[in-house]
Amino acid sequence: MADVEADRRGAGKRRGGGAYGYGPAEAVERAWTPWLVPLFVVACVAVFVVEMYVNNCPARPQPYGPCVARFLHRFSFQAIRQNPLLGPSSSTLEKLGALQWYKLVHRNQGWRLVTCIWLHAGLIHLLVNMLSLLFIGVRLEQQFGCVRIGIIYLLSGFGGAVLSALLLRNSISVGASGALFGLLGAMVSELIINWTIYSNRVAALLTLMVVIVINLGIGLFPHVDNFAHIGGFLSGFLLGFVLLIRPQFGWMERHDLPPSAQVTSKYKAYQYVSWVIALLLLIVGFTIGLVMLFRGVNGNDHCHWCHYLNCVPTSRWSCED
């Protein structure tokens, strides 16, 4: 994101506009004070505290060994052998709303598609996700405001949960990773749809792609829900085309330019086309995904190789656990 910021500042200075190559109106957009992303962080931390309170490790049988950090009493963690991420048991997560295919489809508990986004498997899981959210989300909210970034975050998390439920039946899934990947996807599409206002746009795009590929690569290890990452990324990527479109250069200053130099359209033609295509794909994708899910369709029956996107078995680990 730092490369993108630098590109826009440079473009703005060379073209005589504001920080992003625009006039005063764009400078106002840059003045957004981020509050929604910090609120999301506070909410996830609060939910994790509730998880540990409900879990109450000392009151449970301990077949895997004693609780970790017993000085925390009720808030102590399950044994490392049971949860290496320092958190509650799987049964606690399932009780509080983790994504679980059988209960989602056969018990009509569709609310799990939303609640799973706010739960985390452990303290380590929570810290990694929240630090990433602050690093990525705050800067995006400063640029585009709370409404657009909030929509992208929530719908990306939802999209990740839908894909995960379609393709991952034998495990529970929790975490904000799908929503985080949605923000990364939105950064990529924002760069593409506003391509003409960047200077070092190719370098910025390559930097983003390297970060995304590395993170998706990590998702090929066991016990990481890469389907949520992929579903979140695709949702955020399409939402970025719809919500993060910017007026073409010169639109904000059109009244200060001579008639021959004025632009007549707020957006370029390719921006309009991208907006329409992305919106249609979003509607179709969510509709098909939800219909398949609640009809009990197993996505793996229609994609026999998709399980390799979530975990690649090797001689060192198995993907069956």
Residue-wise pLDDT for 101-115, tens only, equals 999 999 999 999 999
Tens of pLDDT, residues 286-319:
999 999 999 999 888 888 888 888 877 776 655 6
229 classed as catalytic = yes
- Helices in the chain by DSSP H: which ranges? 2-15, 24-29, 36-55, 90-96, 101-106, 112-115, 123-144, 146-167, 177-193, 201-218, 226-243, 269-294
274 classed as catalytic = no
> What is the average pLDDT value for the chain, to the nearest integer?
84
Instruction: Identify the active-site residue in 177, 189, 235, 274.
Output: 177
Token digits of residue 145: 């405001």
In this prediction, residue 208 carries a pLDDT of 84
In this prediction, residue 316 carries a pLDDT of 64
For the segment 165-182, the average pLDDT, to the nearest whole number, is: 91
Tens of pLDDT, residues 10-39:
434 333 333 333 333 343 445 689 999 999
The Cβ of residue 72 has, within 10 Å, a number of other Cβ atoms equal to 13
Buried b (16+ CB within 10 A) or exposed e, 216-240: beebbeeebbbbbbbbbbbbbbbbb
Has residue 2 got a pLDDT over 50?
A: no
Give CA–CA dist 185/272, Å, rounded: 19
Half-sphere exposure of 241 (CA within 13 A, CB side): 19
Has residue 182 got a pLDDT over 70?
A: yes
In this prediction, residue 9 carries a pLDDT of 40
Q: What is the DSSP letter of 107?
A: S
Has residue 261 got a pLDDT over 80?
A: no
Has residue 121 got a pLDDT over 50?
A: yes
Residue with tokens 């369709």: 297
Instruction: Identify the active-site residue in 76, 120, 164, 229.
Output: 229
In this prediction, residue 201 carries a pLDDT of 78
In this prediction, residue 25 carries a pLDDT of 38
Tens of pLDDT, residues 51-76:
999 999 999 888 889 999 999 999 99
In this prediction, residue 272 carries a pLDDT of 92
For the segment 214-220, the average pLDDT, to the nearest whole number, is: 75
User: Which of 289, 312, 320 is closest to 165 using CA atoms?
Assistant: 289
